[in-house]
Structure 1
Amino acid sequence: MQQFKQFFKADLILRYLLKWTALAIPVTLVTGSIVAFFLWLLDGVTQYRWQHMWLLYLLPVAGVAIHFLYKVLGKDAERGNNLIIDEIHEPGGGVPLRMVPLVLLTTLITHLFGGSAGREGTAVQIGGSMAGGIGKLLKLSAADTHVVLMMGIAAGFGAVFGTPVAGAVFAIEVLVFSKLQFDALVPCLLAGFIGDIVCTAWGIHHTHYLVSFHSGSSVFLHVNTLLLVKAAIAGALFGLCAWLFIFLSNKVKSLSLKYIPVQWLIPVVGGCIIIGLTWLVGSTDYLGLGVTSQDLHGISIVNAFHGHGVTYWSWLWKLVFTVITLSMGFKGGEVTPLFFIGAALGNTLAVAMGVPADMFAALGFIAVFAGATNTPVACTLLGIELFGGEYSLYYAVACFAAFYCSGKGGIYHAQRR
């Protein structure tokens, strides 16, 4: 009898794995391939903008084009990541397939003409839309559709950053504030890993960030206790930075709707502000993704780890550029700009605290994101996957401190409590 129970249990587990592997393969093959194509195009438009900086002056026109593309074709697709999260909570209208070409095209337009935006929002929407389409095609139940959509998020996130474990946990953690539901962990892990493999197979290479500092250790805690305290203080400041980003994003959006009654003029005004800010700061490094700079020693995420190129207020300028871009009608993700903001602030805090710039740039990179999305567990894992596991305790302390100090809001309004 006992042997029969064990066999029955093993059979159930095998069926479970086979079912979700079979569903993961089409979702991740399509998602990983489209994300790879998107990243290739994004690199191309970035290089083209660097060679033709006059394109920045057409940013207001580009904003009008984006507005009317969504007005004519978008419908619910304009809600982006929030639509996918809502659909996971309560499957209903579905995630439209038109979201894929729309978000891909409009994100590329934003980057081509100099808007400050990211790429993960596009990848997540591609994954969610593809997963939703496959769920409809296979006529899955509401419960299975719930999981498949989460797999789409995991596949998109894992593919765009090359971090499959963080992508899987992010897909679970982002749904409900301060609550993890692990019933979909295995399918999301499958989706995250396969999505990353597919994207890499197409020849897409992700940026590598090097943290070379090696901390000493105390006898009792096996960590540098003073450095850990400084990481906690920095984490709290990263959380306040995330709160500022959320607050200004909501405020700019509400003020734009209040004082600019003609909706297509909102991106026109936003584009003009970005042009003016670029002249004011005398640099184009705050445009686009910001992972690298056209100038070898310019302001970028990579240079924040090396300790050169970044100024004391680089984090604030990138925050302002991104808030104006995304709150006034342009498309793209928030996460890569949040990485820039966090890494630049970490660099600034490292100088003030007398600690290694590369390590605190890494802490800011993940902690500001943790505070803005309320996903400290996923962001701790993100740090381990990107920077190595040696500083995992510091990552966790910074991410959770940022999470607790960032308030009750977040960049995803559909996130539930």
Structure 2
Amino acid sequence: MSSNNNDSNSTIPATKERYSTFFTTLFCWVLWGSIIGIVVGSTSTLLINLNDYLTEVRQNNPYLIFFLPLGGIIIGYLYMYHGKGSRKGNDMVLEHIHHGQGKIPLIMGPMVFVCTFITHLLGGSTGREGAAIQMGASISESVNRLFKVNKIDRKILILSGISGGFGSAFGAPLAGTIFGMEAVMIGKTRYEALIPCFVSSFVSHYVAEAWGIQHDTFTIQTVPQINGINVLKVIGLSIIFGLISIAYSQSRHEIKSLSDKYLKNLMFRAFVGGIVLIALTYLIGSRDYLGRGLPMVNQAFEGQVPYFAFLAKIVFTAITMGTGFRGGEVIPLFFIGATLGNTLSFLVNLPTSFLAALGMISVFAGAANTPITAFLLSVEMFHGEAVTFFFMACMISFIFSGHHGIYAAQKIFEPKSRMLNLPQGQTIKFIEENKKV
């Protein structure tokens, strides 16, 4: 009887009202998601084209690396005096989604746009998806203000901006759809944002293609058979990939923490980072670890790479990002995973291109804490090849990366596993700062 009383106290809107709300909300989400997708796809096109051009300029003019410290000073100056708090980058976007306080500064998009170009032109070891995500969030915030979107939908549209940025940056609209919903919080996927994220990701992807963007492609030459031995090998390798994702994430956060403590001035911090990167380049005697490093990734699929390549990229990218330069971390994670897979392939007797691909995807899955996104990315990037192995690798790397990750503001809604014994509702940064030895 009590349950019936409780039910009678609940007010259910009339059928006409529910249909009206459904179609009105659907129309708004499709409209807003389309607008975001068109603008994000166009800005991503500009980002990718200029990025590729600046990379070519740097490769043709090796002396530009000596201007990296100066570029760091410029980036530090811009964020100190004109960034309006946007220097937190992706973490600022996540914090805004979690807490919903204030507004994302519209300057975030143009700022990361310019600073990413400076970083790439002068040789910083970084990618571009961070810039695409922050531009997507900034564009979504513009739509929020233009249409005076309500508080609930404001957060949803920010997620759709993230999806559009990722989908257009990698030519992977399915992965982009889920990335916006999955990257914000570990243990909870924001399915309420599915429609605008889907619309934004696909529209931005096709807009970028319409502008003539051709994304980088990689090919798996041989896929091993699914049998007991190979499954055990992939399980063991996936654990290693997960641990390597920890190595990168911790290196990057530790360098940032040391920079915050000892190099408080952003201009001086990036200046020192630039000097260190120049010194490392000449110490190693190679420029393969500057910029995105895509030639080395291609080489990892086709032949042999230096056995220490993945370690060098960890160091170069951690210093670049930890000292304040701008860009993204997904392509460097691809580099780390692909070159490590290449090195391990000779030890475990599995096809080189297969392990390079497996390393690419699973290191990203562990570092970003987005296993579903990573799996879908593998499906889109490798045309459905080896889906069983990729699914295993993404899940295992995700579990073994623990509470670590590249996004310090990523919140743990539910721990990945009871085995990890982690608290709920805390960010990666909070757990790192309060963990007991």
Structure 2 length-normalised TM = 0.88
**Alignment match, 1:145:** 154
Aligned mate of 1:307, from 286, 303, 312:
303
**Alignment match, 1:203:** 212
Deviations 1:241-264 (A, max 9, x none): 111111111221222333335442
Aligned mate of 1:18, from 19, 27, 30:
27
**Alignment match, 2:336:** 341
Letter in 1 for 2:301: F
Q: Whole-Å Cα distance in 1 between the matches of residues 263 and 22 of structure 2?
A: 57
Q: 1:234 to 1:7 in 2, by over 3 A?
A: farther
**Alignment match, 1:135:** 144
Q: Whole-Å Cα distance in 1 between the matches of residues 334 and 28 of structure 2?
A: 36
Deviates more, 1:11-20 or 1:166-175: 11-20
Letter in 1 for 2:195: V
Q: Whole-Å Cα distance in 1 between the matches of residues 281 and 153 of structure 2?
A: 47
Q: 1:166 to 1:326 in 2, by over 3 A?
A: same
Q: Whole-Å Cα distance in 2 between the matches of residues 172 and 225 of structure 1?
A: 35
How big is the shift at 1:92? Answer: 2.4
Q: Whole-Å Cα distance in 2 between the matches of residues 394 and 269 of structure 1?
A: 42
Letter in 1 for 2:59: W
The answer to whether the 8 Å contact 2:224/2:351 transfers is no
How big is the shift at 1:265? Answer: 1.9
> Paired residues, what number?
399
1:258-269 correspondence to structure 2 within 5 Å: 258-260=261-263, 262-269=265-272
Q: Whole-Å Cα distance in 1 between the matches of residues 184 and 333 of structure 2?
A: 19
**Alignment match, 1:281:** 284
1:271 has 2:274 as partner:
yes
How big is the shift at 1:389? Answer: 1.5
**Alignment match, 1:220:** none
1:36 has 2:36 as partner:
no
The answer to whether the 8 Å contact 2:177/2:194 transfers is yes
**Alignment match, 2:313:** 318
How big is the shift at 1:6? Answer: 9.7
**Alignment match, 1:225:** 228
Q: Whole-Å Cα distance in 2 between the matches of residues 137 and 92 of structure 1?
A: 18
Q: Whole-Å Cα distance in 2 between the matches of residues 129 and 175 of structure 1?
A: 16
Deviates more, 1:20-29 or 1:83-92: 83-92
Letter in 2 for 1:202: W
Corresponding residue SS for 1:96:
coil
**Alignment match, 1:92:** 101
Corresponding residue SS for 2:69:
helix
Q: Whole-Å Cα distance in 2 between the matches of residues 237 and 388 of structure 1?
A: 25
Letter in 1 for 2:134: Q
Aligned residues with identical type, % of pairs: 39
Deviations 1:152-194 (A, max 9, x none): 0000000000001111111111111122231211221111111
Deviates more, 1:26-35 or 1:385-394: 385-394
How big is the shift at 1:407? Answer: 2.2
Deviations 1:103-142 (A, max 9, x none): 0100000011111011000000010100011111100001
* Structure 2 gap ranges (5+): 1-13, 413-437
Letter in 1 for 2:91: N
1:76 has 2:72 as partner:
no
Q: Whole-Å Cα distance in 1 between the matches of residues 228 and 135 of structure 2?
A: 43
The answer to whether the 8 Å contact 2:84/2:105 transfers is no
Aligned mate of 1:253, from 253, 256, 266:
256
The answer to whether the 8 Å contact 1:343/1:365 transfers is yes
Q: 1:7 to 1:394 in 2, by over 3 A?
A: farther
Q: Whole-Å Cα distance in 1 between the matches of residues 281 and 361 of structure 2?
A: 26
Q: 1:214 to 1:368 in 2, by over 3 A?
A: closer
**Alignment match, 2:172:** 163
Letter in 2 for 1:184: A
The answer to whether the 8 Å contact 1:96/1:133 transfers is no
The answer to whether the 8 Å contact 1:178/1:374 transfers is no
1:66 has 2:62 as partner:
no
Q: Whole-Å Cα distance in 2 between the matches of residues 256 and 144 of structure 1?
A: 37
Q: Whole-Å Cα distance in 2 between the matches of residues 8 and 324 of structure 1?
A: 55
Q: Whole-Å Cα distance in 2 between the matches of residues 338 and 144 of structure 1?
A: 32
Corresponding residue SS for 2:411:
coil
The answer to whether the 8 Å contact 1:95/1:133 transfers is no
Q: 1:355 to 1:9 in 2, by over 3 A?
A: farther
Aligned mate of 1:380, from 353, 375, 395:
375
Aligned mate of 1:243, from 237, 241, 246:
246
Q: Whole-Å Cα distance in 1 between the matches of residues 19 and 301 of structure 2?
A: 48
